[in-house]
Amino acid sequence: MHMHFAGIDIGSRTIELVVLDEAGNIVSSLQADTGFDPMEEARNLIDGTRYDRIMATGYGRNLFEISFDASTVTEIKAHARGSRSYFPDAQTVLDIGGQDSKAIALFENGKVKKFEMNDRCAAGTGKFLEIMARTLGFDLEDFGKEALSVEKDLNISSMCTVFAESEVTSLIAKGKSRQEIARGLHASVIRRAAAMINRVSSEGDIVFTGGVAKNPCMCTLLERKLGRRILTPDDPQSVGALGAALLAQEE
Amino acid sequence: MTENYRAMWKDLGLDLEAHDGLLAVLGEAYQDIYLSQKNRPAGMGYFDFVMSEVHGLRIKELLDEKKAGRKIIGSYCVFVPEEIALAANATLVGLCSGADFAMEEVERILPRNTCALIKSSFGFKLGKVCPYLESADMIVGENTCDGKKKAYESLSDLVKNLYVMDLPQVKSDHGKALLKAEYNRFRKAVEGLTGIPVSDKSLKQAIRTVNAKRTAIHRLSALRKADPAPISGLDALLANQVFFYDNPERFTESVHKICDELENRIAEKNGVFPENTPRILVSGCPQAVPNWKLPFIVESSGAVIVGEESCVGERGTRNLTDETGETIEQMMDAIADRYFQVDCAIFTPNPDRLKHIQEMVAAYNADGVIHYGLQFCQPYLMESMPVEKAMEDANIPCLRIETDYSMEDVGQLKTRIEAFIEQLR
């Protein structure tokens, strides 16, 4: 019987589960919305999944550790490890998830050297973009594409989700283009992310993970802003879970 | 509480209902944070008792001292010399500033972007829940940061016995002369309060008493160098916090007792955490009772705190006052010399602090430094940047934390601190 190793990333918006075989191949990769009962959702995901060891990450990791037989790791280390499996030489990782964002610098051997993380509020996170997309009447999936369809961005000065929303409302009232407002909002998140990256590392490629990495406008604007290559894994949302699974295997 | 103190609290003018609420929260926090720790030194029982009686028996003792003719002086800062208070027949106590209280009322008097420590000191007054403050015959404010010095202007409307001490901001000859002059002015004020002049004999005895307290804490600190750590950072912080409240002689004796026990533990390699647990030095703003937020997160995330580069910690207790002076003038000079070395971030420039952090990292064999900054505390937050830079240059991992007394950021702090500890492994 071959051993299977699982990683589960219980984030604020979604839960990802990745299972690896002994060779490190992905056997299964599942996702669910976190909802209001994350442990129930997590249980649904792991029911029927065969694994020998599981490691939890994400903000729900400690609750999961108590409810299930698991070890835990922070999102920071998990994303660092997961990013390395896609890009073995990566030394900078940007993860923007549902309610927080992190910039991580790695040593050559992959260990975490330094990190920055947003504090407290949802400014500059997936949640910010989600609320703004809704305010502008875009589907989240199309938000980045629509923003990329124009060249001009309207300056949005507020990073606070609540204040930015009223800024957007007043721009709409002035008859401004939805797409240009959208681009301005992306640019404001990028300014914050770029500042965070610059505090931990100044050169080299950047691996972009987390749900927000699926947004093409974010990738394009970030690349332009920093003049550094942005590398995006196939499934950026599951990088944390993958990292946790790899760490479970290496434990 | 082992005795019924309600009449005493009522006489002091406390808001009994609010005070009950405070004690209930404090008791619960103490249970969850302190009493849940495993394998604590037995000597911590004394500090548990002190904490359980912090608003009870200790206040009764102070009121008994008052009846016997002593005066009580409350202070908010390590620059207020306990030696002078003791020498003039007064007892110095630290005043409550480690928890949010009556915040709505506080924010009617102070701007919202005032640090939690200053707001807390106002909250305890406005909420009428600090028996130390209400027992005090004199409350000493001191011109440290801008926030505090302006806040004392407003505090003077709330308390009738506020005395404000000026402090230098530069370590120059002028600065030292100012400190000496201010300490002499303070001595006169305390003498005026108690009606008892400081004598060469009483001053010498007071210096010895306070030095003995510091020496006991130095001994405790030195024992924290051992791996496995014989005492948790939480418990050592508590001893440093009780330093400001307790009867000096009894405190000294109790700390030595715990040190005897810790020496045995070290010999037996009996630690509170396993050997090779990541070791952290906390540096920055003071952590006043009951502010145990940071050490609780750190020590429930798999690391141990081995030192506090802080006012409630080595910044406050470092250096003894020279005991060899014979005249009052010589001893007053020695007191000023000792306090002038305190490396508070209100000084500009303040290179000693950086040096001390590096020395402490080496002495306590710390694997990393967490810089603890209270939100809106400009002096320490400003210094946190060069501290981080200096640590990086010396290849010492450093995490800058900026927080307050609320619990809303605990989840994110825990993630950051756990990730930092992963870095140290």
What pairing do the DSSP bridges indicate for beta strands A5-10 and A53-57?
parallel
Q: From CA A198, how far away is CA A116, in angstroms rounded?
A: 10
Of B409, B412, B419, the CB nearest to A112: B419
Q: From CA B299, how far away is CA B370, in angstroms rounded?
A: 13
Return the residue of A nearest to B385 by Cα. Answer: A199
Nearest chain A Cα distance for residue B111, angstroms: 21
Q: What is the pLDDT of residue A95?
A: 97
Spacing of C-alpha A33 from chain mean position = 14
Q: Which residues of A touch B414 (CB under 8 A)?
A: 62
Q: From CA B95, how far away is CA B77, in angstroms rounded?
A: 9
At B364-417, the pLDDT tens digits run 999 999 999 999 999 999 999 999 999 999 999 999 999 999 999 998 899 999
> A1-87+234-251 belongs to which CATH class?
alpha beta
Q: From CA B116, how far away is CA B20, in angstroms rounded?
A: 22
Question: Does B246 have pLDDT greater than 60?
Answer: yes
Q: What is the mean pLDDT of residues B258-270?
A: 98
User: Locate tokens 């007071």: which residue?
Assistant: B206
Binary contact (B422, A115; C-beta < 8 A): no
Domain boundaries, chain A: 1-87+234-251, 89-232
- Which residue of B412, B413, B421 is the best one to mutate when testing the A interface, meaning the one whose CB has the most A CBs within 10 A? B412
Report helix, strand or coil for A232. coil
Of A59, A76, A119, the CB nearest to B419: A76
- Which residue of A59, A61, A120 is the best one to mutate when testing the B interface, meaning the one whose CB has the most B CBs within 10 A? A120
Whether the CB-CB separation of A7 and A78 falls below 8 Å is answered with yes
Report helix, strand or coil for B217. helix
At B87-112, the pLDDT tens digits run 999 999 999 899 999 999 999 999 99
Q: Which of A117-121, B124-128, B143-147 has the lowest mean pLDDT?
A: A117-121
Q: CA nearest B162: which of B244, B73, B98?
A: B73
Q: From CA A23, how far away is CA A85, in angstroms rounded?
A: 13
Of A76, A77, A120, the CB nearest to B409: A120
Q: From CA B293, how far away is CA B405, in angstroms rounded?
A: 8
Q: Which residues of A touch B388 (CB under 8 A)?
A: none
Helix-helix angle A75-86:A239-250, to 10 degrees: 90
At B277-326, the pLDDT tens digits run 999 999 999 999 999 999 999 999 999 999 999 999 999 999 999 999 99
Q: What is the pLDDT of residue B46?
A: 97
Cα–Cα–Cα angle for B214, B217, B218, rounded to 5 degrees:
85
Return the residue of A nearest to B417 by Cα. Answer: A74
- Cβ contacts of A132-137, under 8 Å, gap ≥ 24: A132/A164, A132/A165, A132/A168, A132/A182, A132/A185, A133/A182, A135/A165, A135/A168, A135/A169, A136/A168, A136/A172, A136/A178, A136/A181, A136/A182, A137/A178
Superfamily of domain A89-232: ATPase, nucleotide binding domain (3.30.420.40)
Binary contact (A74, B418; C-beta < 8 A): yes
Tokens of A183: 């681009």
Q: From CA B248, how far away is CA B205, in angstroms rounded?
A: 12
Binary contact (B415, A59; C-beta < 8 A): yes
Q: What is the pLDDT of residue A99?
A: 87
Q: What is the pLDDT of residue B398?
A: 97
Binary contact (A111, B409; C-beta < 8 A): no
The residues facing B79 across adjacent strands are none
User: Locate tokens 């400690």: which residue?
Assistant: A62
Binary contact (B423, A113; C-beta < 8 A): yes
Binary contact (A74, B408; C-beta < 8 A): no
Whether the CB-CB separation of A201 and A91 falls below 8 Å is answered with yes
Q: What is the pLDDT of residue B303?
A: 98
Q: What is the pLDDT of residue A153?
A: 85
- Which residue of A76, A81, A107, A196 is the best one to mutate when testing the B interface, meaning the one whose CB has the most B CBs within 10 A? A76
Q: From CA B314, how far away is CA B341, in angstroms rounded?
A: 12
Which domains does chain B possess? 6-196 (3.40.50.11890)
What pairing do the DSSP bridges indicate for beta strands A26-33 and A92-96?
unpaired
Binary contact (A76, B411; C-beta < 8 A): no
Q: Which residues of A touch B423 (CB under 8 A)?
A: 111-113
Q: Which residues of chain A have pLDDT under 50?
A: none
Of B397, B402, B415, the CB nearest to A74: B415
Binary contact (B423, A112; C-beta < 8 A): yes
Tokens of B193: 């309060």
Q: Which residues of B touch A119 (CB under 8 A)?
A: 402, 409, 412
Of B397, B412, B418, the CB nearest to A119: B412
State the ipTM, two decimals.
Answer: 0.88
Q: CA nearest B156: which of B138, B169, B144, B168?
A: B138
Binary contact (B402, A75; C-beta < 8 A): no
Question: Does B3 have pLDDT greater than 80?
Answer: no
The residues facing B141 across adjacent strands are B164
Nearest chain A Cα distance for residue B347, angstroms: 27
Q: What is the pLDDT of residue A120?
A: 63
Q: Is-cis flag, bond preceding B168, omega within 30?
A: no
Residue B2 — very low, low, confident or very high, per pLDDT cuts 50/70/90?
A: very low
Return the residue of B nearest to A102 by Cα. Answer: B416
What pairing do the DSSP bridges indicate for beta strands A101-106 and A112-117?
antiparallel
Helix-helix angle B44-52:B248-267, to 10 degrees: 140
Give the list of residues 6+ apart from residue A157 with CB closer than 8 angstroms, or none: A167, A188
Whether the CB-CB separation of B84 and B71 falls below 8 Å is answered with no
Q: What is the pLDDT of residue A1?
A: 64
Q: Do domains A1-87+234-251 and A89-232 have the same CATH topology?
A: yes
Question: Does B1 have pLDDT greater than 70?
Answer: no
Q: From CA B87, how far away is CA B70, in angstroms rounded?
A: 11
What pairing do the DSSP bridges indicate for beta strands A206-209 and A230-231?
parallel
Q: What is the mean pLDDT of residues B258-282?
A: 98
Give the list of residues 6+ apart from residue B297 with CB closer than 8 angstroms, or none: B410, B413, B414, B417
**Count of CB contacts below 8 A, A vs B?**
36
Q: From CA B151, how far away is CA B403, in angstroms rounded?
A: 20
- Residue B196 phi, psi (nearest 5): -120, 115
Q: From CA B336, how far away is CA A160, in angstroms rounded?
A: 48
Whether the CB-CB separation of B168 and B176 falls below 8 Å is answered with yes
Report helix, strand or coil for A168. helix
User: Locate tokens 């005043």: which residue?
Assistant: B95
Return the residue of B nearest to A78 by Cα. Answer: B419
Residue B47 — very low, low, confident or very high, per pLDDT cuts 50/70/90?
A: very high
Q: From CA A208, how far away is CA B285, in angstroms rounded?
A: 35
Alpha helical stretches, state H, B277-327: 293-299, 314-317
Could you give the count of Cα atoms lying within 13 Å of B292 in the half-sphere of its Cβ? 24
